[in-house]
A and B are shown apart, each in its own frame.
Chain A
Amino acid sequence: MAALINVPRRAKRGDVIEIKTLMSHIMETGYRRTADGDIVPRDIITSFTCRYNGDEIFRADLFPAIAANPFISFFTVATESGTFEFEWIGDRGFTATAKAAITVE
């Protein structure tokens, strides 16, 4: 359960910045079978959310068609210094969170 987050440490007010996230997860589709023919049960991350100082700025619903170790990158406007909070929610009670700080000048 390791997350990789890439957020610029500092930015000018009003800049459009890119946020890159990667969460390690098998993303088992639920369509694969073992050699015995049994279906491997689905185990995926279903939801990803990013909050900027508490306000939701990005959300994604994920499906089995998202590759293992989901990588998601998106953009936001740097409005004020603070923290980004990231949250992943998935099957079998999977939850993971991560934080990143930014200084806006």
Chain B
Amino acid sequence: MTRQDDTTRRRFLMLAGGAAVAGAVPVLTIRPADATPATLAAAIRDVVGTAVVHTGKVKLDIPPLVENGNTVPMTVSVASPMTAEDHVKSIHVFNEKNPQPNIGNFVLGPRAGRAQVSTRIRLADSQKITAIAHLADGSFWSVSVDVVVTLAACTEEVI
């Protein structure tokens, strides 16, 4: 009898855990958003084509908690020797939930010396920012960072 109870309890926990895991993934993707994951994926595909995007090499410095989404400092850098043979050709930054998936495209070259770009961006919601670097050998490297925004950009009225 007790054994029977154990099994059901274990099964219940497994089911609950499985549901939590399955539920956790869509939370990020199925929110009402303008730049939906589909448009984000399309914007990324426009840049990388059919190439494989590896994870790593790229570093995205952005505050994890942002009070004002109208101006968020962002620095993106890539670990690269920046020589004629091995350098970063371009860096592309994307967002998940702004009305448009693109944030900026930055074209560098071996003369940059250091693959690092800083700017200030707008964020309409708490969301994931993705940076993709295109290297001279044709490979793509990416990183994603989650940002929580308390005051969103784009929503206020113009007086």
A interface residue numbers (CB < 8 A to B)? 16-17, 29, 31-35, 40, 52, 55, 57-68, 70-77, 79
Assess the B114–A16 pair: CB atoms within 8 A.
yes
SS class, residues of chain A in contact with chain B: strand
Q: Which residue of B lies closest to A77 (CB)?
A: B113
Interface with A: B16-24, B54-62, B100-108, B130-138, which one?
B100-108
Assess the A65–B113 pair: CB atoms within 8 A.
no
B30: interface (CB < 8 Å): no
A-B contact count (CB 8 A): 104
A6 CB to nearest chain B CB (Å): 12
Q: Which residue of A lies closest to B77 (CB)?
A: A75
A31 to B97 CA separation, bound complex (whole angstroms): 13
Q: Which residue of A lies closest to B94 (CB)?
A: A65
Given contacts A35-B159, A66-B121, A67-B120, contact A29 B154 (CB under 8 A): yes
> What chain A residues lie within 8 Å of B116 (beta carbons)?
74-75
A75 to B99 CA separation, bound complex (whole angstroms): 30
> What chain B residues lie within 8 Å of A58 (beta carbons)?
106-108, 112
Q: Which residue of A lies closest to B99 (CB)?
A: A31
In the complex, which of the residues B111, B112, B115, B154 contacts A31, with contact meaning CB atoms closer than 8 Å? B154
A75 to B79 CA separation, bound complex (whole angstroms): 14
> What chain A residues lie within 8 Å of B95 (beta carbons)?
65
> What chain B residues lie within 8 Å of A72 (beta carbons)?
117-119
In the complex, which of the residues B106, B107, B117, B121 contacts A65, with contact meaning CB atoms closer than 8 Å? B121
**Interface CB pairs A-B, < 8 A, 20:** A16-B114, A31-B99, A31-B154, A32-B154, A33-B157, A57-B111, A60-B106, A62-B104, A63-B100, A65-B95, A65-B123, A66-B120, A66-B121, A67-B122, A68-B70, A72-B119, A74-B106, A74-B117, A75-B115, A77-B111
> What chain A residues lie within 8 Å of B151 (beta carbons)?
none
A17 to B122 CA separation, bound complex (whole angstroms): 27
A104 CB to nearest chain B CB (Å): 13
A76 to B110 CA separation, bound complex (whole angstroms): 9
B72: interface (CB < 8 Å): yes
Assess the B113–A76 pair: CB atoms within 8 A.
yes
A58 to B119 CA separation, bound complex (whole angstroms): 14
Given contacts A52-B111, A73-B118, contact A67 B71 (CB under 8 A): yes
> What chain A residues lie within 8 Å of B70 (beta carbons)?
67-68
